[in-house]
Structures are given as C-alpha cells and as structure tokens.
C-alpha cells in the first residue's frame, strides 16, 4: 500500500479527536495525523446500511447530473451499494489504473500533512461513516464523502495528475505563507469540492462535495439561485465561499485538460499579485465573468462568507 507507518485503530466508532483548530474554514476538529488500518470487521450492520442507502440514493440522482467521467470511474472501481468497500480491494484497482492509493485516517488532517499525502499520490480516506440521522448533512468529511465523492476520479489519469500537482502546490504555498494558502484553498473548494464541467449535453457535476450531497446535487444544476460562471483561475483564487450553506457560485470547467493547463504555471507570482487585492464575496458577478447563469440570489444567507 505505502511506506506510511500503521497504527492499530481505536475501538470501533470512536475517532480519536485530539484538538480543535481555527482555520479559514472556521473552527474545525483536527484528528490524529496517523495513517490507520481500516477497521473493516468492526463496521456494524447499521454502518453498512448507511452506505447502502446513500450509495443507492446518490447513484440514482447522479445519472444525468454527474459527469460521465465520474460515473464511469465509479463503475470501473467496482464500488457497489452492497457493503462498505475495503480500501485494500479498491487499492488493487486504483494502483493499477493510476498509481494512487488510499490510506485510512481519522478525519480532517492539518493542511501540510494532507498536501504531503496528495503529493505522493496517497488519498486520505476517513474510515468512519456517518450515523443514520446524518444522511442529508454532516459538518465534516466521513467515509461516504471521501470514498464515494473523491476516490472515483482518481481513476482518471488527468484528474489524478491534477490532485498530485495540487498537493505539491500546497506544500509550496505552505512555505510561502497563510495568504497563499487561502488562495490555493479556494481553488480546491471551487474545483475538487464544488466544480461543474461542461459536457456535450450540458452542465454536469464533478465536485466531491456536491456528488456526496443529495440536496446540492439538485441545487447546483437546477436552482435559479446560484451563479454558474466559467472557470478563471485568479478570479476563483480571489473568491470567498460558503461552508455551511449551498454555494452561491459554481465555476464551470470545459474539460479536465483546461484545468490542468490553467494550473500548470508557477503560482508564486500570482500569490504575490493577489496579496494586494481585495477578495470577492461568494455571490459576486463581475463584468469580466463568462456567465452561464446569473443567480437570483434567492435564499442566500446574508452573513459573511469565509
Ligand atoms: N502550479 C501550481 C503552483 O505552482 C501547483 C498547482 C497545480 C496547484 C495544480 C493547484 C493545482 O503552485
Ligand atoms: Co472533500
């Protein structure tokens, strides 16, 4: 799997939360940074049932809404609703396809640790799954979000390369400073987590935060409320976002190739330029935007974006 050290998992169902940390995303729990073995035998019937329900519900919703690449990749991995997949089984397929591997973790990692995993083509997956009363929403990533949402596109060679490049860029931005990290995190948010892609037959979802959410899978494409705007690297890096409501703005790429090309150049001069510029509120539409849909703004929270 990898050369990372393994420690034994905690007793079933209790992630080892070690501290809380103030970040640009608010006050978030931070867990041990260890890689842990997936305690597969300890999953309960309820855990498997949560996976089954969420998997079946999202797959039904995502046909015609998620990008073809996402759906094809998820099928190719052999993820099924039957039971929570074993990381080891997925790794056999994934390592052969693109050289990525999954490592089990307790939850959100400190930024630098996360970047280092990505830079080495390791994707950290939270081992525990949400409770039945959290099917529609929870405030932090769990196994369903990480595995169902993030892992399929790692089967795609170009997207896999993007994720690794992001990890390397993250290590670099971490060395440059806090402002650079804020700019880079917005890029992750508006692509990896909440990105839309323009397909022959219309806009589709590729962002993990959307595909793992029933409500936002519908909202992002079908609601009049949010803006849908063409991808623009520096524009995105200046745009604040929502962490506790649906996004006010989604950015649309034409292809993963466009994403790779736009993010290939060294960001160092961009960080320097952005350091002297104001950020944009999440719902702003600029004259220079390529607007696919101008949001009605209906139902938007008026409190500040992060
Ligand atoms: N080119 C970026 C840099 O120099 C690295 C990067 C690539 C960041 C892809 C994000 C996505 O920092
Ligand atoms: Co995520």
Question: Is 266 a pocket residue for ligand 1 (Cβ < 6 Å)?
Answer: yes
**Residue 133 near ligand 1, beta carbon < 6 Å:** no
CA nearest to 233, candidates 199, 202, 258, 204:
258
Q: How far is CA 239 from CA 74, 231, 287, in A?
A: 30, 12, 15
Q: How far is CA 129 from the centre of its chain?
A: 16
Global pTM reads 0.90
Q: How far apart are CA 278 and CA 249, in angstroms?
A: 18
* Ligand in nearest proximity to the CA of 153: 2
- CB 263 near ligand 1, within 6 Å: yes
pLDDT value of position 1? 34
Q: For 190, which DSSP code? A: I
pLDDT at 139 (0 to 100): 87
Residue nearest to atom 10 of ligand 1 (CA): 166
- What does the CA dihedral 248, 252, 258, 259 come to, rounded to 10 degrees? 30
Protein residue with its CA nearest to atom 12 in ligand 1 = 169
The encoded tokens of residue 245 equal 């409501």
The partner residues of 144 in beta bridges, in order of sequence, read none
- Distance CA(207)–CA(210), nearest Å, equals 5
170-to-32, 138, 183, 212 alpha-carbon distances in Å:
20, 26, 10, 24
In angstroms, the CA 124 to CA 213 distance is: 20
Query: What is the SS3 assignment for 27?
Result: strand
CB-ligand 1 contact for 172 (6 Å cutoff): yes
The Cα–Cα gap between 236 and 19 comes to 30
φ and ψ at 290, to 5 degrees?
Answer: -90, 100
pLDDT at position 31 is 61
Each residue's pLDDT, cut to its tens digit, for the chain (306 residues) gives: 333 433 433 334 555 554 555 555 455 555 677 899 999 999 999 999 999 999 999 999 999 999 999 999 999 999 999 999 999 999 999 999 999 999 999 988 989 999 999 999 999 999 999 999 999 989 889 999 999 999 999 999 999 999 999 999 999 999 999 999 999 999 999 999 999 999 999 999 999 999 999 999 999 999 999 999 999 999 999 999 999 899 999 999 999 999 999 999 999 999 999 999 999 999 999 999 999 999 999 999 988 789
Q: What is the pLDDT of residue 124?
A: 97
């Amino acid at each position: 799997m990898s050369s990372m050290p393994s420690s034994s998992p905690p007793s079933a169902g209790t992630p080892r939360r070690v501290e809380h940390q103030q970040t640009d995303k608010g006050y978030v729990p931070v867990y041990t940074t260890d890689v842990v073995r997936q305690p597969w035998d300890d999953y309960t019937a309820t855990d498997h049932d949560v996976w089954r329900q969420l998997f079946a519900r999202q797959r039904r919703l995502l046909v015609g809404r998620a990008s073809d690449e996402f759906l094809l990749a998820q099928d190719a991995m052999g993820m099924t609703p039957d039971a929570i997949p074993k990381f080891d089984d997925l790794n056999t397929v994934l390592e052969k396809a693109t050289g990525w591997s999954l490592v089990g973790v307790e939850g959100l990692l400190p930024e630098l640790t996360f970047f280092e995993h990505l830079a080495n083509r390791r994707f950290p997956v939270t081992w525990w799954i949400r409770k039945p009363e959290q099917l529609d929403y929870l405030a932090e990533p769990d196994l369903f979000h990480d595995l169902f949402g993030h892992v399929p596109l790692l089967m795609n060679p170009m997207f896999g390369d993007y994720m690794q490049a992001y990890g390397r860029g993250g290590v670099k931005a971490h060395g440059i400073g806090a402002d650079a990290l804020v700019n880079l995190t917005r890029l992750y948010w508006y692509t990896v987590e909440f990105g839309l892609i323009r397909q022959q037959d219309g806009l589709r979802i590729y962002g993990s935060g959307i595909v793992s959410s029933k409500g936002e899978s519908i909202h992002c494409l079908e609601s009049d409320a949010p803006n849908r705007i063409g991808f623009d690297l520096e524009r995105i890096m200046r745009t604040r976002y929502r962490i506790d409501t649906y996004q006010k703005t989604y950015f649309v790429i034409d292809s993963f190739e466009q994403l790779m090309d736009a993010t290939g150049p060294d960001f160092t001069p961009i960080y320097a330029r952005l350091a002297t510029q104001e950020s944009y509120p999440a719902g702003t539409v600029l004259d220079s935007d390529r607007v696919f849909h101008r949001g009605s703004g209906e139902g938007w929270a008026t409190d500040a974006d992060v």
